[in-house]
Chains A and B, each alone.
Chain A
Amino acid sequence: MNRRLLVATFGDEEDILAATRRVRETGYSIVDVFTPFAVHGLDTAAGVKPTRLPWVCFALGLSGAVAKLWYQIWTSATSWPVNVGGKPVNSVPAFVPVTFEIMVLFAAVGTVAAFLIVSRLRPGRRPAHVYDRTTDDRFTLVLLQDDAGFDVDAVRRLLQPFGLLDLSERTEIPPEKPPRGSLLVRPGYIGALGGGVILFTLLTYLTPRDFTEPNLMVLPGMVRSVPFDPFAANDIFPDGKTLRMPVAGTIARGYYPIDSSKSVEIADEVRSRYSKLSPGERSRLDERALQVFSTFCQPCHGTSGAGDGLIVGHGYPPPPALTGVSALRLKDGEMFNLITYGRGNMPALGHRVPREDRWLAIRHIRQLQQKAVTTAEGEGP
């Protein structure tokens, strides 16, 4: 149906505001107002209902946040839980930043998309109404001549005081066939695009490929690095070897240098340090010693060190008694090496028990030996 429109043009923000307000009060029906910029208050003046886009924004933000929180919990705690630094797999506080970002992303992009949809704006769309200089400096008020008695002169008289620049009549003829639209929505174009995609997919699937071979690699230099063979000759170094000696005067981390020529002085120093400890510190050392002993020695050698630990009851060959003669004869250093490197059925404990703890265990064993000797003497004649 053709619509007969009346187009009034103004040159100022204040004029269009006042004119629109007056026209609406008088009862004419406003088709739309076109302005070069956002004129504040024009929406209420023209009777435009407040938009519901804020609700869209809220809903999208909320759904983005919920979806992303769920996704993080699902990937980290359900799909493939990975222990990272002993932290709980479901560490929700750590998921807050990404949840926030995705909330903003969904809300912002979604709101703009919703705005484009409700405002019918899309790439390549031709403007529905074209009035001269609307995007420059003209403010256009479009009225609908909705009945036969519509008096154009009355409108002119009404609008004259508001600095009316031009008043003209227009007939809006609805397009007979739907507008051709942009390049992107033309059926032929979509067909060509879709056909291309299908053709490409088909070609991809029909191309013979060898799945046992790796894919095409871009810049493979960093994928396969070429290390030197440790024992191969190497002309980079003056001595022609790949393996390097440690720099003179250095110690590898984790190794402890022992100067055997000073063992007596060291022992004296340790003894004097021990004598200066408070009773509380001594009892703490004793507790630690007992703990180390019961963890690493007791299962085989038994609580009292008699060689009657748990494992003997399970059929394991009984280990030597720690209170036996051979053990009594062992020097502290020998015992330390024995614990560190193991012997016979005894495993090496050097890498499992820290150095200090090994010495503490020896101290505990010595105490057990003392007890055993005293008991034996007491039982003797």
Chain B
Amino acid sequence: MADPTTGLRRPLIGGDKSYADVTREVCAPLERKSPAAWWMTISAALAMLVVGVVAVTYQLRTGIGTWGLNNTVGWAFDITNFVFWIGIGHAGTLISAILFLFNQKWRTSVNRSAEAMTLFAVVCAGIFPVIHMGRPWLAHWVIPYPNARGPLWVNFRSPLVWDMFAISTYFIVSLVFWYVGLIPDLATIRDRAVSKVKKAVTNFFSFGWDGSNRTWHRYETIYLLLAGLATPLVVSVHTIVSWDFATSLIPGWHTTIFPPYFVAGAVFSGFAMVLTLMLVVRKVLHFEDYITLHHVDAMSKVIIATGGIVALAYATEFFVALYSGNEYERFTFVNRALGPYAWAYWIMVGCNIGIPQLLWSKKVRSNVAAVFVISLLINVGMWFERFVIITISLSRDYLPASWATYSPTTIEIATLVGSFGLFFTLFLLFSRFLPMIAIGEVKGVLKYGRPDGKEPRE
């Protein structure tokens, strides 16, 4: 997309800024008093969080019977939420690791927030399996440590154990990746800090960073290594999540397409969430020059691509059910589209296959409000995708005698609300206390596509 008059590529950052401008503008939200809007949104988020805390406390005291589960549908709302949140997280790693390996320079404006989103989403996701254990005070039993019970080890052949390892590794590696990226920016805040307390705190957390060339050299090396490690990791995490289902024998779950299908769905939903958050952030924090319309455009294209993979996966599932000649498999898919939960299925198809097609139009992609609404609808659709896969498949399996329907109780809905409260609370705190844009990385691409700079060296 070179400019025909100058032969230069389009600049990544708008507004002809100097390095000092970048520092000042990105740090500005941390240095001014919290605006009233921030207090209002964090109050709302905290209220949602309180709802969730009350619900979780009640269900821990009373038991899993407070949920709408029954003998037939043993996994429903909580596992849906778990897979939903884990999926959200994947876009952060995709932006920070995979786009880094593919040298997509535009990622620098959004990677910090996207990685933070990953961390917070994984935190929200982790809550659900732990509550589902029923006796979460024994949650440490999933860790294979030498114990006084034999020692009795975990069953390393179980996908649920793999899941525990995958998600805790994912959280730790994402945290480390994110923090390594933060160190130089914390040093920037330290050097700008006026108050003594802030200086001491940022000095503690910036590890004494001084911008030495030797350190930068090593820093770049480990950043590349971490990106290389995080890329297969992110694919493995949702693959293993999909194995939770695929290794069982429930029609609708027992398919080999699940790993790629889940990974594509995760990236799809994650990018929708990144867009939702970024469109708000650029407006509220005045980052229009950093998160430009080109960023929105690029992310919309990723959504079209991954949404296409998801649509293909839906079609493949139906084709395989037909082609397999397996009556249970065939019934499951007819039941999805026409059974008692057909409304959920058609919400999923509408939001995940129908709505994103609007993004093919350049006009829609450059309309921020439209993209925002589409991203919200995709989030809804992807939540319903997990609900469709998990609940509908379980509710009608082999024996008609054991068929059952499921509907969530108030407690379950309150828990979901609480997880959103936790997510937004963490994100709002992040926006208040840490730079939302990777200052160092943005400075590195500032000259990109400008007449006084030159083409980026690779």
Contact = CB atoms under 8 A, between A and B. Distances in A.
B152 interface: yes
B19 A102 contact: no
A84 B454 CA distance: 62
Interface string A58-95: 00010000000001100110011010100100010011
A37 B443 contact: yes
A182 B200 CA distance: 10
Contacts, number: 220
A97 B160 CA distance: 11
Interface stretch (A124-132, A164-172, A273-281, A308-316): A124-132
A91 B157 contact: yes
Interface in B224-259: 225-226, 229-230, 232-233, 236, 240, 243
A117 to B, nearest CB: 11
Contacts of B339: none
Sorting the interface of chain B by its residue count into under 10, 10 to 19, 20 to 34 or 35 or more gives 35 or more
A123 B205 contact: yes
Interface string A168-180: 0000000000000
Interface in B140-171: 144, 150-159, 161-162, 165-166, 169
Sorting the interface of chain A by its residue count into under 10, 10 to 19, 20 to 34 or 35 or more gives 35 or more
A24 to B, nearest CB: 12
B19 A36 contact: yes
A115 B184 contact: no
A127 B208 contact: yes
Contacts of B195: none
A286 interface: no
Given A48-B214, A80-B150, A54 B208 contact: no
Contacts of B340: none
Given A39-B213, A72-B156, A111-B225, 14 more contacts: A34-B212, A76-B156, A84-B157, A98-B165, A104-B236, A108-B229, A119-B219, A121-B209, A123-B207, A129-B212, A134-B210, A135-B188, A136-B19, A136-B188
Given A34-B212, A116-B207, A80 B236 contact: no
Nearest to A31: B212
A104 B187 contact: no
Given A125-B207, A182-B204, A105 B173 contact: yes
Contact of B218 (A53, A219, A221): A53
B173 A104 contact: yes
Contact of A135 (B60, B137, B187): B187
A121 B207 contact: yes
Nearest to B443: A37
Interface stretch (B77-85, B119-127, B175-183): B175-183
Contact of B213 (A33, A53, A123, A136): A33
A12 to B, nearest CB: 9
Given A37-B444, A79-B151, A135 B165 contact: no
A38 B63 contact: no
A124 B155 contact: no
A53 B222 contact: yes
A129 B213 CA distance: 12
Given A37-B441, A112-B226, A125 B213 contact: no
B444 A38 contact: yes
B173 A130 contact: no
B23 A104 contact: no
